[in-house]
Amino acid sequence: MKNHKVIVVGGGAAGLQAAATLKELGVEPLIIEREMQTGGKVRRWHRLFPDFTSASEVLATLEKNAEGIETLCGVMVDSIDATGVTLAGGRHIKADAMVVATGFDLFRAELKEEYGYGIYDNVYTSADIEDMLNGDGVRLKDGSAPGRVAFLHCVGSRDEKVGQPHCSRLCCITAVKQAMELRESFPDAEIYNYYMDIRMFGAGYEEMYRSAQEDGEVRFVRGRISEASPTIDGRVQIKAEDTLLGRPVKMTVDMLVLAVGMTAAESNGRLGVGLQSGGFIAPRDLFTGAVYSPDAENIFYAGCATAPKNIGETLNEATAAAVKAAEFLLEK
Amino acid sequence: MSVNFGYTISLPRAVDLDRNDFSVALRVLRRLPELESCIGCGGCTATCTAGAFTEFNFRRVQTLVRRGEYGGAYREMNKCMLCGKCRLVCPRGINTRAVVMTIKRELGTGY
C-alpha cells in the first residue's frame, strides 16, 4: 500500500492523529496545514478539562506519533474532489484518498456588540484567558488581579441572531474549568457563571461542575447576560435576569469572560463538499456513516469539521477515518 | 345559619395542566409558533425598560400564558412600552413585541 497517497487536510488534533494512524497502517500520508505550524487549536490551550491535563502534553504525544510525516505548513487548501486537492493558487495535488480534518473557527465575539468585546476594557474571550494562562497569568488591562469575575456561557452558541443555532457543547465545561483556574490564581475573588443551561455531557464533566460549586465556590446564575457596559473606573457592568428568582440582576465586575462557541470553519464553503445548514461539513449520516463523505467514496471526515467535538471524540474519529481510508485503498 | 369557625379552604397552587384551558395559548402560538422555542434565558427581562421599575417580567408572563394561566396577563402585558430591546437580545429571534400585542388581543381586557 506504500504507493498510495492520502492527503490529510488540516494538521490539528484530528489531522495529526489521522496521519499517524495512516502511517501505522502503511499508507503514505501528506498533511497540509494552513498555519505555519501543526497543532491547531490545541496549541493555544493551556490545560484541558476535566482533569487539567496540560494541552502541550497531549500535543507532544500527537506530534511524536506523527513524526517524520511529510507536512506542508502555511499552505491553504482551496478545494477537494475525488482526484485530490487544489491549493490556493491553483496547484493540484493528486491523491488516492483524502481525510478532511479542517476543524472549526472560534466564534468572533465582537459580533455580539452588546458585550463590548474589543470596545471596552476587561472583556475577554475564553481563548484570551488561555493565552494569559500560557503567558504571565490572568490580569486586568492595568495589570492588577481581578477581584470579581463573570463568565458568560453560550456566546455565539444557540443564538439565531448571529447565525449560530447549534450548541457548541464544550463552552460550558470550558467556562467551568477556567472558573476553577481563576479560583486557583485568585483565592479571594468572587466568580460568577451566567448560563442558560449547563450541558455537562462528558465523563468527569458533571463532577467538575459540582467541584466548581462546592470547592471552587463559583456562583452559578441561571440567566443570559443581555448587555454589558463600561463604568467610569474601567469595570464592566452587566445585566441579566436571575430566572430562578424572576428578577433582573445587575452587577459590576472587574472582568467579563465570554465563553465563545465553535463555529463552522469559514473555509468549508470553498472546499466543494456538501455542508449542513450551519456550515459544518455534512457526513454521509450521523450514525454508521460519520466519517464517510456522501460526495465521493475516497473522501473521509474527522473531528470538528463536521460538528463540535471534544479532543477525545476528535481523536477517536480521526483514527476511524484513517482506518476506513486505508481499508478503502486496500480494497481498491 | 352558618357558623364561621375561622377555617378556609386553600385552593391548590399547582398549575393544573389537566384542567387549564389552552385555547388562548394555542391561538397565540398559532400566530407566533416561534414562541414555543423560548429557552427561558431571561435576556428579555434583563434588558426590559418597564421591568427595571415595575414587577413586569415578560419571560414569566408569556410562559404562564403558554401554560394556560391567564390571570392578570393582560394587565401585566399592558406595562410593556413596546421599546423592542427584548427583541434585540432574544437568542431565538422571537418577535417579542408581537407576542405582547397578540397576547393582549387574544385575551382581551378582562384579564
Which residue does chain B place closest to A227, by CA atoms?
Answer: B47
What is the interface pTM, i.e. ipTM, of the complex? Answer: 0.86
Convert the pLDDT of each residue in A296-316 to its tens digit.
999 999 999 999 999 999 999
Asked if B52 lies within 8 A of A159 by C-beta distance, the reply is: no
CB B102 within 8 A of CB B32: yes
Q: Look at residues A154, A60, A41, A156 and name the one whose alpha carbon lies nearest to residue A102.
A: A41
Rounded mean pLDDT, B20-31: 97
Q: Look at residues A124, A106, A110 and name the one whose alpha carbon lies nearest to residue A258.
A: A124
Query: What letters, b where the CB count within 10 A reaches 16 and e where it falls short, cover A93-127?
Result: bebbbbbbbbbbbbbebebbebbbbeebebbbbbb
Write down the CATH number for the domain with range A109-260: 3.50.50.60
Q: CATH 3.50.50.60: which residues of chain A?
A: 4-103+265-331, 109-260
The x, y and z cell numbers of residue A22, run together, are 495512516
How far is B30 from A170, CA to CA, in rounded Å? 35
Q: Look at residues A180, A174, A191, A195 and name the one whose alpha carbon lies nearest to residue A251.
A: A191
Convert the pLDDT of each residue in A203-225 to its tens digit.
999 999 999 999 999 999 999 99
How far is B80 from A241, CA to CA, in rounded Å? 17
- Contacts with A320 (C-beta within 8 Å, 6 or more apart), sequence order: A290, A291, A302
Rounded mean pLDDT, B7-11: 86
**C-alpha separations of A129 from A42, A90, A109, A132, A268 in Å:** 14, 38, 14, 5, 27
The shortest CB-CB distance from A226 to any of B47, B57, B92 is to B47
The shortest CB-CB distance from A160 to any of B51, B59, B93 is to B93
B59–A contact, CB cutoff 8 A: yes
Asked if B45 lies within 8 A of A248 by C-beta distance, the reply is: yes
The shortest CB-CB distance from B89 to any of A197, A226, A246 is to A226
How far is A292 from A300, CA to CA, in rounded Å? 5
pLDDT band at residue A25 under the 50/70/90 scheme: very high
A160–B contact, CB cutoff 8 A: yes
- Torsion angle, CA of B51/B52/B53/B59, rounded to 10 degrees? 20
pLDDT band at residue B11 under the 50/70/90 scheme: confident
State the nearest Cα–Cα gap between B100 and chain A, in angstroms.
18
The pLDDT, as a whole number, for residue B12 is 87
The torsion angles phi and psi of B86, rounded to 5 degrees, stand at: -60, -35
Residue spans per domain, chain B: 38-110
pLDDT band at residue A1 under the 50/70/90 scheme: very low
B105–A contact, CB cutoff 8 A: no
Convert the pLDDT of each residue in A152-200 to its tens digit.
999 999 999 999 999 999 999 999 999 999 999 999 999 999 999 999 9
Q: Look at residues A28, A37, A26, A31 and name the one whose alpha carbon lies nearest to residue A10.
A: A31
B68–A contact, CB cutoff 8 A: no
Strand A247-253 versus strand A236-242 pairing type: antiparallel
Q: Which of B37, B38, B39, B41 is the best mutation test for A, with the most CBs of A within 10 A?
A: B41
A240–B contact, CB cutoff 8 A: yes
Topology at the third CATH level for domain A4-103+265-331 = FAD/NAD(P)-binding domain (3.50.50)
